[in-house]
Amino acid sequence: MSDGGVVLRRCDGDRVRSDHALRERIAAVYTTVFGEPPYEEPPDRGPRWAHGPLVRHAALPGFELVCAERAGALLGFAYGAIGRDDSWFAGYIRERAPREVAEAWLGGHGELAELAVDPQERGRGVGGALHDAVVEHLEQLGTGRVILVTQRAATAARALYAARGWRDLAELAPGSVLMGLRFTKGDAG
Ligand SMILES: CC(C)(COP(=O)(O)OP(=O)(O)OC[C@H]1O[C@@H](n2cnc3c(N)ncnc32)[C@H](O)[C@@H]1OP(=O)(O)O)[C@@H](O)C(=O)NCCC(=O)NCCS
């Protein structure tokens, strides 16, 4: 990161589930970031997500949230966990991706979710640093491979992922792309 004073803070699932104030701060960034195109989520989506799905995700094995902060202000966040083969998300992928993709990528895989940086803080390496911190965590857990779903129209995120070795695996719905990253060099997957 080129911007001084930015620190990354790692939070485990217990912390996320017990710290209501942290989730409120995450909700505010979520609302700002995902209220923009191409997402255009409604303003109440951030709090509903931060006190609902995020709390459930925080119970997943290997869950870790990484926050980027400057002087206590939250600039962005991302999180990851070990994916469950019997989860709703895995079922969603199995229904929509080619069978060989599901077989090669699901099961003991890592999942990267919700990379978000406040619009005023972009272009200075915060998003890349958050991505790298979560991916490093998932690699250390021995997952071997990580998946995510993103929108084709999310051009900045797509460029960030491509520059870090992610590749497209399948189109799950119009404009919604499953991407994958393998840690082992030479594994064609
Ligand atoms: C994607 C996002 C997190 C990037 O955050 P950021 O702090 O601006 O990213 P960085 O400054 O660390 O840039 C990292 C890389 O991203 C890519 N990138 C970032 N912004 C870009 C843009 N506007 N256009 C093209 N590529 C871009 C580049 O590859 C860049 O590499 P570089 O440093 O060699 O130039 C941010 O744009 C964001 O929050 N977008 C909205 C939310 C979103 O789409 N999240 C993904 C959900 S799956």
What would the pLDDT profile of 8-51 be if each residue is shown by its tens digit?
999 999 999 999 999 999 999 999 999 999 999 999 999 999 99
Mutate to test the pocket of ligand 1, among 40, 77, 117 (most ligand atoms within 8 A of CB): 117
Lateral strand order in the sheet of 176-182: 6-12, 64-70, 73-82, 110-117, 145-151, 176-182, 167-173
Ligand 1: centre distance to CA 112 (Å): 15
Residues with CB under 6 A from ligand 1: 33, 115-117, 122-128, 148, 150, 154-157, 159-160, 163
Q: What pLDDT sits at residue 3? A: 59
Which are the contacts of 66, defined by CB distance < 8 A and separation ≥ 6?
8, 9, 10, 11, 77, 78, 79, 130, 133, 134, 137
3-state DSSP of 3-23 = CCCEEEEEEEHHHHHHCHHHH
Q: What is the pLDDT of residue 1?
A: 66
* Three-state DSSP state, 155: helix
Is 188's pLDDT higher than 50?
A: no
Q: pLDDT digits over 40-88, tens only?
A: 999 999 999 999 999 999 999 999 999 999 999 999 999 999 998 889 9
Instruction: Kindly state the tokens that stand for 127.
Output: 């998003």
Between 133 and 186, the higher pLDDT residue: 133
**Residue of minimum CA distance from atom 10 in ligand 1:** 125
Which tokens sit at 28?
Answer: 């505010």
- Ligand 1 atom, smallest distance to 1 CA: 12
Per-residue pLDDT tens over the stretch 92-128: 999 999 999 999 999 999 999 999 999 999 999 999 9
Q: Which atom of ligand 1 is nearest to the CA of 150?
A: 48
Closest residue CA from atom 17 of ligand 1: 160
Rounded CA-CA distance 4/14 in Å is 29
Query: How far apart are the CA of 117 and the centre of ligand 1, in A?
Result: 8
Provide the CATH topology of domain 7-182: Aminopeptidase (3.40.630)
CA dist., res. 152 & res. 159, Å (int): 10
The whole-number pLDDT of residue 4 equals 76
Give the Cα separation of 189 and 105 in Å (integer): 7
Q: In degrees to the nearest 10, what's the CA dihedral of 90, 159, 10, 182?
A: 50
pLDDT tier, 180 (very low <50, low <70, confident <90, very high otherwise):
very high
Place of tokens 């104030």: 21
3-class secondary structure, 105: helix
